Amino acid sequence: MPVTSETSVEVRDLTMSFGSGGAGRRPTMVQVLHDLTFDIGSAETLGLVGESGSGKSTVGRILVGLLKPTGGSVRLFGRSVTGADRAANFAAVRSRVQFVFQDPHAALNPRIRVGHSIAEPIDIAGKHSRRDRDDRVRQLLELVGLPRDSADRFPHEFSGGQRQRIVIARALSLSPDFVVCDEPVSALDVSMQAQIVNLLMDLQDRFGLSYLFIAHDMTVVRAIARRVAVMYAGSIVEIARNADLYADPLHPYTRALLDAMPRPDPTRIRPRTIPGEVPSLLAPPSGCRFHTRCPHVMPRCRDESPRLLEIAPGRQVACHLFTAAETTEP
């Protein structure tokens, strides 16, 4: 999508490497993200999907400032948070960017009352008097569908779905504009998943929130995302509008992910898993990283890494099946 004044997040050529190796071993750098480029518009949800180990959560942690990338740029609300003024610019936008973790049990301190957990960011920001802060906490609890007196109780008194509502209330405490939701429903049962997804969509409608919604479950992403980016082994292999991606997936990996989705029709025989395994980032395959699992692999796929190209408005794919023209001899 084109960058406009309404663009909340602009990511360009983002790379991330981590050092690996134990005591006595020479450290090696493992590149976990490769040249990611995408935008998230105001009040938009971008779904980020892929198998475990694809690098999705690393992207989320970079966008909220928990990790510093090794290359590329990130702009939040027009401010660079990866350049020389990274710290100052992050401080300026910090209250506008929040994070909802996967595990609501781990996200809440079991010894602290719920009200205090939600009030923590408000106290750190120092914008409210104590009385206003307590009112705000109770309003937030109502907003996420919990009774006001939940503030006086401890996390263990709530179900998993209720705890995730508390985590969302805390994320909203400073009225953010952009929220990274990292697998926010994967620890919940299916009925709770639907409730939390509906809550997030309702909050987006009310407050114009932008989301990066990270998930491995294509069904959940379909319900909430306007656009979807598919990641494989640290790279984005396809970006498309929700309807286009689910109706007509182009990249072989996207097709495999959709084929692996649960189907309500028992007569439809489809594979439930993708053959092969996600490659090790310590020794990734040459060329296209998906070539070891791809049913359409061609000789060039083993040597040349496909670039993410726009093949239609709003539609980008990284696959040699869609770059055949580039190799055509004159």
Nearer to ligand SF4, 186 or 323 (CB): 323
Q: 133 in helix, strand or coil?
A: helix
Shortest separation between residue 219's beta carbon and ligand SF4, angstroms: 23
> Count of CB atoms within 10 A of residue 36's CB?
25
Of 79, 114, 72, which is closest to residue 94 (Cα–Cα)?
79
Amino acid at site 229 = A
Nearer to ligand SF4, 49 or 301 (CB): 301
Nearer to ligand SF4, 202 or 303 (CB): 303
Nearer to ligand SF4, 155 or 252 (CB): 252
Using CB under 6 A as the criterion, which residues of the chain lie in contact with ligand SF4 when the complex forms?
Answer: 252, 288, 290-291, 294, 296-298, 301, 306, 319-321
Give just the sign of the alpha carbon dihedral 242, 244, 249, 253.
Answer: negative
Shortest separation between residue 77's beta carbon and ligand SF4, angstroms: 35
Amino acid at site 76 = L
Give just the sign of the alpha carbon dihedral 221, 224, 230, 232.
Answer: negative
Shortest separation between residue 230's beta carbon and ligand SF4, angstroms: 11
Question: DSSP labels for 269-311?
Answer: ---SS-SS-PPPTTSPPSSSTTTTT-TT--GGGGT-PPP-EEE
| Interatomic CA distance for residues 66 and 53, integer angstroms | 18
Nearer to ligand SF4, 46 or 301 (CB): 301
130-143 and 160-171 are packed helices; what angle lies between their axes, rounded to 10 degrees?
130
Q: 147 in helix, strand or coil?
A: coil
Element (H, E) at 48: strand 45-49
Query: Residue 82 carries which DSSP code?
Result: S
Nearer to ligand SF4, 170 or 293 (CB): 293
Nearer to ligand SF4, 45 or 316 (CB): 316
Query: Residue 4 carries which DSSP code?
Result: -
Distances in Å between the Cα of 271 and the Cα atoms of 247, 257, 258, 328 are 18, 10, 10, 34
190-207 and 160-171 are packed helices; what angle lies between their axes, rounded to 10 degrees?
20
Nearer to ligand SF4, 144 or 228 (CB): 228
| Interatomic CA distance for residues 196 and 167, integer angstroms | 11
